[in-house]
């Protein structure tokens, strides 16, 4: 009888894989944010008991880390180009993968900041820094500057993508982006010309800008700085 109970318990935990639990966690996070991710909600979504989930994941922090890592891994799973792309192209692909992931998953930016600060030894930070750092090395940057150049790219990518995602959340689904930018640009144009000459001068550029194009332009500026400071041998 004991052997049968043990086999039944093992078959249930095998059927409910860690990957399926993490997938369900991502779905809950996308729908309701961090507050919506509870073990009770997971058991309801997966039609199982809490014990089966605790078999794979010990607590909510571990669940959030696993969900973050799964989304980042998918974002960085980039098909190799034919012919092989340049390091600059690879970095742009990594950057856009993370930009889109943060845009699609509103909770991700906060979790990435948490992971980078609290547990940089976990899989998320090395996964990101490796995907960028290999291309920085391929650019011919000297070894003593690998970390600096990679960190500059990583912080820009995560910061700019996170800000873009935050802008979308603040505006909400019912706000027209073009109308909002037009109102901000108009307000900037009315600022005191003596106190805010530059802000007034770029007001029209704010009105017309595209978020993805601006993001990639920032990547291009950083790459230009890196290749200028460390020209290939």
Residue 214 lies in a domain: yes
- Amino acid 6: pLDDT: 44
Residues contacting 154, CB < 8 A, separation 6+? 128, 129, 132
- Amino acid 15: pLDDT: 59
- Amino acid 173: pLDDT: 61
Residue 40 lies in a domain: no
Number of domains in the chain: 1
Q: How many CB atoms lie within 10 A of CB 173?
A: 6
CA distance 93 to 184: 31
Residue 111 lies in a domain: yes
Exposed e or buried b per residue across 207-223, where buried means at least 16 C-beta atoms within 10 angstroms of its C-beta? beeebeeebeebbeebb
C-beta of residue 128 within 8 angstroms of C-beta of residue 99: no
Residue 15 lies in a domain: no
CA distance 11 to 92: 44
Residue 38 lies in a domain: no
Residue 68 lies in a domain: no
What would you measure as the largest C-alpha separation in the chain, in angstroms? 86
- Amino acid 120: pLDDT: 79
Which residues span the domain enclosing 192?
A: 84-229
**Chunked mean pLDDT (size 10), the chain, 233 residues:** 44 68 94 90 88 86 93 88 84 96 93 86 90 96 96 95 81 73 93 96 90 94 95 76
- Amino acid 171: pLDDT: 61
Residue 174 lies in a domain: yes
Residue 19 lies in a domain: no
CATH code, domain carrying 225: 1.10.357.10
Q: What is this structure's pTM?
A: 0.84
């Amino acid at each position: 009888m004991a052997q049968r109970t043990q086999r039944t318990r093992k078959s249930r935990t095998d059927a409910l894989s860690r990957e399926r639990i993490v997938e369900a966690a991502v779905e809950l996070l996308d729908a309701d944010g961090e507050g919506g991710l509870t073990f009770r909600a997971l058991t309801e979504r997966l039609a199982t008991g809490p014990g089966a989930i605790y078999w794979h994941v010990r607590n909510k922090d571990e669940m959030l880390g696993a969900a973050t890592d799964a989304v980042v891994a998918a974002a960085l799973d980039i098909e190799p180009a034919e012919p092989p792309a340049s390091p600059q192209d690879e970095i742009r692909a990594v950057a856009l993968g993370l930009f889109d992931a943060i845009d699609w998953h509103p909770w991700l930016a906060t979790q990435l900041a948490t992971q980078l600060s609290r547990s940089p030894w976990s899989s998320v930070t090395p996964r990101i820094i490796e995907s960028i750092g290999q291309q920085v090395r391929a650019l011919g940057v000297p070894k003593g500057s690998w970390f600096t150049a990679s960190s500059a790219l990583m912080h820009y990518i995560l910061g700019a993508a996170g800000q873009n995602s935050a802008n979308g959340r603040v505006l909400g689904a019912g706000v027209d982006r073009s109308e909002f930018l037009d109102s901000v640009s108009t307000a900037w144009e009315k600022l005191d010309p003596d106190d805010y000459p530059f802000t007034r001068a770029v007001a029209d550029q704010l009105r017309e800008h595209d978020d993805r194009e601006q993001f990639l332009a920032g990547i291009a500026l950083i790459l230009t700085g890196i290749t200028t400071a460390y020209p290939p041998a």
